[in-house]
Structure 1
């Protein structure tokens, strides 16, 4: 518990009264303040959110070392231990049932937050590397090429991706698949068998509450999304500092992210200060800078 430091309290009222706001991130020209959820121990693997209850799932390893798969309730501000599984890397939530699917060294487990019970679900001889739930489970296997789906007790490969080593992937609102492989982002459009190169810039990938595709550039701290009219990336804004590594959206479409530099988990909420994002530096040294019309504390 001592490692959980929720620092809520920055609000729109603060901005209105004082004319000042902290601007730890700038998205769509709006300032966001960050609250620290977790620190001191490295977090590994995916973040996942139960958007009905606004609970974020993650894993950390302490100094013993012991593994802990846990959750944090963003509404009630409380820490939750997930029973029946310690180590995990992949995590995904069925938003309709609130059941969390947790991938570890012995396949996929299913956690029921209503009964607080974890049961083994599938694939007990596989180490699950990455997952997403979108009508069914999409998953990858550690040190294994390809992307797979699991539905009605059957596992099937996505044939077009069988030769790719996939480091990260998302399935968006159109059921298009974006994935990172060998320092390149590729796209597999729904119903097609041909993979196309989408970007040679390294991004981490995520989707929001409407399954819109988002891309985070860790080095420049830029946040981008797909413009579905053009199929191209458009800049949403930038994180003010650190190295945003894993990112998810909660039920208000606010960002929760893991800072790979500081090993801290943060929650961003809008304080409605105004801001802008500018580029500084040149070439490989290009960085995003957040400037606020109020006082900034980045």
Structure 2
């Protein structure tokens, strides 16, 4: 990236500056966001916390150390998990109400949660599952038993998934025999995120680059790059700005300045994408 003194990142040719939101807390490795109300969720000092980005204030959601965070963007419900139970938290004027959403039928505890049309879990033992409305239970994914999955994201309205296992990135698709099959597409670790329009993004801390999936070509193209820090997890706020957890434990947001900036070539060079 062609860096200016006041340009910390360059996304789609626009200069962005880094604005720190939180520092000095113990934060786990997953963020979640309610884009309607611009509320960021994180585990701070072993409690689930809501950070109101438009108001610069925080509120405790849950006092216990839960794992996994995900927001249903249709109704702004937050999900978290603890001891084999998935909870849902609803924001009201005077605080949050918490109730049981699902009791899991397996001993493993979800390490990560995501909500994209349905709730799905990425468990501590590396297994993954999604909530199947027809059976009112969680079902595992076919042909993924050999992987310890640590992250997963799907392309909205398309039978295409991506997952991370063993610090490698894989594509998971329906093959010609109507079976789900996987393909290695990168030997580098990536963190996955979903934008407000259902687009899938891939962060590479080694390269300090964010990639985006092109829905037409099904290839990864460069969305932008950054100078300092190392992205551990990231989400998009209501204005589609990237909010990220840095490897140093801080949470920050890249805010556009409006000036143009230069990026490197925008083609994913690390692998030949397998269709």
The structure where strand makes up a greater share of residues is 2
| Paired position in structure 2 for 1:127 | 109
Change (3 A) 1:175 1:69: farther
Equivalenced residues, count:
253
| Paired position in structure 2 for 1:187 | 171
For residue 238 of structure 2, the aligned residue among 251, 258, 270 is: 251
| Paired position in structure 2 for 1:3 | none
For residue 50 of structure 2, the aligned residue among 59, 68, 71 is: 71
| Paired position in structure 1 for 2:259 | 273
The structure where helix makes up a greater share of residues is 1
Q: What is the Cα deviation at residue 106 of structure 1?
A: 3.6
- Distance, in Å, in 2 between the alignment partners of 1:104 and 1:172 is 28
CA-based RMSD of the aligned residues comes to: 2.1
Q: What is the Cα deviation at residue 21 of structure 1?
A: 7.5
1:147 is aligned to 2:128: yes
Quick check: 1:132–1:171 contact (8 Å CA) kept in 2? no
- Distance, in Å, in 2 between the alignment partners of 1:268 and 1:89 is 26
- Distance, in Å, in 1 between the alignment partners of 2:118 and 2:187 is 29
- Structure 1 gaps of 5+ residues are 1-19, 62-66, 280-298
- Distance, in Å, in 1 between the alignment partners of 2:123 and 2:68 is 10
| Paired position in structure 1 for 2:13 | 29
1:216 is aligned to 2:195: no
Quick check: 2:29–2:245 contact (8 Å CA) kept in 1? no
- How do residues 1-298 of structure 1 correspond to structure 2 at under 5 angstroms? 22-61=6-45, 67-83=46-62, 85-114=63-92, 116-123=96-103, 125-143=107-125, 145-152=126-133, 153-173=136-156, 174-190=158-174, 192-260=179-247, 262-278=248-264
Q: What is the Cα deviation at residue 277 of structure 1?
A: 2.7
TM-score by length of 1: 0.79
Quick check: 1:45–1:89 contact (8 Å CA) kept in 2? no
Structure 1 runs (4+) deviating above 4 angstroms are none
Q: Deviations over 1:149-205 (max 9, x none)?
A: 124431111122233210111112224210001222111125642111222221111
